[in-house]
């Protein structure tokens, strides 16, 4: 609720701020004590006083009355320093102020009693920054710290994201940095710049007051830019944030790649991000072979293809699911792959507890690595699928009754563990499955020796991967596949990179197709219903009700399975069949889940057939 002095000011404020409830007290500024202020109870109250001493007195009296009426909060607007005595909302309207400018003034309001409350009328009052007593010599007080902080942004840029989050791009040394206005990094920059300019420390309330104004300016007056994490795109070129102290990036285009000092895209950084190795020119990607433990050439191509895909600014991205016995270097491989794309202070993480934890990981990391999984519960499988191929997450905004925090994006993901991690068909359909071989004792290396070798080779490996990205950008428009798999964009991208990676045409798709067949078989073998349906289809074409089908499938599974929680009831059978429909189709088994009986009751039936049966 907004309180002003006088009815004329109230009418003007209502026009400037149509979404606000505006009120005033009757009978002039001296009659605050005669008004009924009880409607202010439990409301957030902002007072817009006139810019003179009577206005200051009126604002103080209203603030006292609002507190006595149990207002939720009380703040006072600080009129601009260059206005005439007695300036109020009516004067602002007459001067041509619009809603955005008035809203910015509103957002600059400071808590009643703050040392930041200053107007022209009190400039002759004495005191230090705490707003102390009179000055017998009548010396003028300097401008408030808030105004000094606002002046610091003259050399920077205020802007906002498509989701209306406020950011600033500020000069630091010989480069530019991007920070959220409410971040610790930006507040430290403000305090440091203020000290460099004035030699004094800035108060916390002054910082808060300045941030309110800067946020309003960034959102209502600043340009809108897309915000990127680690990998961005501009004018057909990709930019990969090196995350070094100079805020440099690698520019990758169809012509090649180079390191640039001032990328044209807006990158965000989390506190855990670490620098990529500075890439070097390489003859091939073969240096990677010496530091990874894979079974064969197919798995090596899939690793390289996954890395080249993770250096693209948009997905879908296949989930790399790494299995293997103890000591097969699953965690080491996960760390290594992340170090080549998105180094982090905590490169591998435990499984998230819920969707909110998963979204927090995705907001702060380009590559997600979930280590040492024993299983993948249904909710996590669904969340990973949405992150891999694109989908939104919504949670209630903290400290808000109605605010909604939205995350929508795609992320490269690595999972590792001893058991089969892609048992669910929808997850397996998005996975590159990799089983690592055991490492013989005579081939094991000390950790320090291994990582020192990797650190020497990583600039060359990254350079070779960037050659693959440049080649993909160059050849993608002409790349065609005979048939498109589920992760079609990834398959096209990796295929377009083949020539620059030194592979023959079709090499990657041959490896990827074989891996997908293995993923389909693994998902079917992990699901007793899918296995039983496959066996039934191989024996005969069949149709009937869900109850009849469940009874028929029992002939193909042992009693132990039928008695376990893995075996569904009839009313859950169709849901299980929908999940298995895609992998079964790839084996030639067609499920018809929407059949109707020709009888009068038109009962729902399920059909199972294998077209082309001899």
All residues at 6 or more sequence positions from 291 whose CB lies less than 8 Å from its CB, including other chains: 336, 450, 453, 454, 457
Q: Is the pLDDT of residue 398 over 60?
A: no
Gap between the Cα atoms of 165 and 169, Å rounded:
13
pLDDT in tens, 427-437: 888 999 999 99
Whole-structure pTM value:
0.72
Q: In what order do the strands lie in the sheet with 368-370?
A: 368-370, 413-417, 319-323, 431-435
pLDDT band for 124, please (50, 70, 90 cuts).
very low
Report which listed range, 206-215, 428-437, 501-510, is most confident: 501-510
- CA dist 68 → 32, 38, 58, 115 (Å): 13, 9, 15, 21
- CA dist 346 → 127, 230, 340, 412, 461 (Å): 50, 16, 14, 16, 22
Pairing of strands 237-241, 2-4: unpaired
**Average pLDDT value for residue range 195-218:** 88
All residues at 6 or more sequence positions from 377 whose CB lies less than 8 Å from its CB, including other chains: none
- CA dist 524 → 54, 325, 580 (Å): 81, 22, 7
Altogether, the residues listed in the chain come to a count of 614
Q: Is the pLDDT of residue 317 over 50?
A: yes
509, with CB counted inside 10 A (0-12, 13-18, 19+), is buried
- Give me the pLDDT at residue 396, please: 58
Greatest Cα pair distance, the chain, in angstroms, is 109
All residues at 6 or more sequence positions from 585 whose CB lies less than 8 Å from its CB, including other chains: 591
pLDDT in tens, 528-545: 999 999 999 999 999 899
pLDDT in tens, 562-583: 888 889 998 889 888 988 888 8
- Give me the pLDDT at residue 395, please: 64
What is the pLDDT of the chain when averaged over all its residues?
Answer: 87
Pairing of strands 44-48, 157-160: unpaired
Gap between the Cα atoms of 231 and 311, Å rounded:
7
Kindly give the interhelix angle for 546-553 and 570-586, rounded to the nearest 10 degrees: 70
Tell me: cis bond preceding 197? Omega within 30 of 0 counts. Answer: no
Which residues partner with 543 through β-bridges? 607
489, with CB counted inside 10 A (0-12, 13-18, 19+), is middle
**Average pLDDT value for residue range 348-377:** 92
């Amino acid at each position: 609720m907004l309180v002003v002095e006088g009815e004329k000011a109230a009418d003007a404020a209502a026009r400037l701020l149509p979404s606000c409830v505006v009120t005033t007290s009757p009978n002039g500024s001296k009659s605050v004590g005669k008004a009924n202020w009880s409607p202010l109870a439990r409301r957030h109250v902002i007072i817009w006083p006139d810019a003179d001493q009577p206005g200051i007195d009126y604002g103080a009296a209203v603030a006292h009355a609002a507190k006595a009426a149990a207002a939720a909060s009380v703040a006072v607007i600080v009129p601009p320093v260059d206005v005439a005595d007695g300036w109020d909302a009516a004067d602002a309207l007459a001067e041509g102020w619009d809603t955005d400018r008035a809203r910015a003034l509103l957002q600059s309001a400071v808590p009643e009693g703050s040392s930041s409350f200053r107007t022209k009328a009190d400039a002759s009052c004495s005191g230090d920054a705490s707003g102390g007593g009179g000055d017998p010599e009548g010396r003028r007080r300097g401008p408030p710290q808030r105004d000094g902080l606002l002046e610091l942004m003259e050399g920077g840029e205020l802007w906002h994201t498509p989701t209306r989050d406020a950011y600033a791009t500020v000069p630091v040394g010989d480069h530019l940095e991007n920070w959220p206005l409410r971040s610790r990094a930006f507040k430290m920059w403000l305090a440091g710049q203020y000290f460099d300019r004035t030699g004094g420390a800035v108060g916390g309330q002054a910082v808060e007051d300045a941030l309110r104004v800067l946020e309003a300016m960034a959102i209502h007056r600043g340009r809108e830019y897309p915000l990127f994490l680690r990998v961005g795109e501009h004018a057909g070129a990709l930019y990969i944030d090196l995350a070094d102290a100079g805020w440099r990036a690698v520019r990758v285009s169809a012509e090649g790649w180079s390191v640039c000092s001032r990328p044209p895209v807006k990158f965000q950084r989390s506190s855990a991000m670490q620098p990529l190795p500075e890439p070097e020119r390489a003859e091939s990607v073969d240096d990677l072979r010496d530091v990874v433990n894979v079974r064969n050439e197919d798995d090596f191509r899939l690793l390289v293809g996954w890395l080249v895909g993770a250096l693209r600014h948009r997905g879908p991205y296949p989930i790399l699911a790494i299995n293997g016995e103890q000591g097969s270097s699953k965690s080491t491989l996960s760390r290594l792959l992340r170090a080549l794309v998105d180094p982090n202070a905590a490169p591998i993480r435990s499984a998230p507890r819920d969707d909110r934890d998963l979204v927090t990981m995705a907001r702060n990391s380009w590559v997600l690595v979930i280590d040492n999984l024993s299983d993948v519960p249904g909710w996590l499988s669904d969340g990973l699928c949405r992150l891999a191929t694109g989908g939104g997450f919504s949670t209630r905004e903290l400290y808000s009754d109605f605010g909604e925090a939205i995350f929508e994006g795609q992320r490269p993901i690595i999972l590792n563990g001893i058991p089969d991690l892609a048992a669910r068909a929808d997850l397996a359909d998005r996975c590159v499955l990799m089983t690592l071989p055991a490492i013989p004792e005579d081939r094991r290396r000390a950790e320090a020796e291994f990582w020192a070798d990797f650190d020497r080779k990583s600039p060359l490996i990254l350079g070779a991967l960037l050659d693959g990205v440049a080649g993909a950008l160059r050849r993608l428009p002409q790349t065609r596949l005979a048939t498109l798999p589920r992760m079609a964009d990834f398959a096209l991208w990796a295929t377009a990179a083949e020539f620059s990676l030194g592979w023959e045409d079709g090499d990657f798709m041959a490896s990827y197709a074989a891996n997908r067949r293995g993923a389909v078989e693994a998902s079917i073998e992990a699901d007793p219903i899918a296995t039983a349906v496959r066996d039934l289809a191989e024996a005969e074409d069949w149709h009937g009700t869900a109850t009849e089908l469940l009874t028929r499938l029992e002939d193909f599974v042992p009693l132990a399975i039928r008695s376990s929680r893995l075996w569904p009831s009839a009313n859950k059978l169709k849901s299980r069949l929908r999940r298995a429909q895609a992998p079964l189709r790839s084996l030639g088994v067609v499920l018809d889940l929407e059949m109707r009986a020709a009888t009068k009751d038109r009962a729902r039936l399920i059909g199972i057939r294998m077209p082309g049966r001899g």
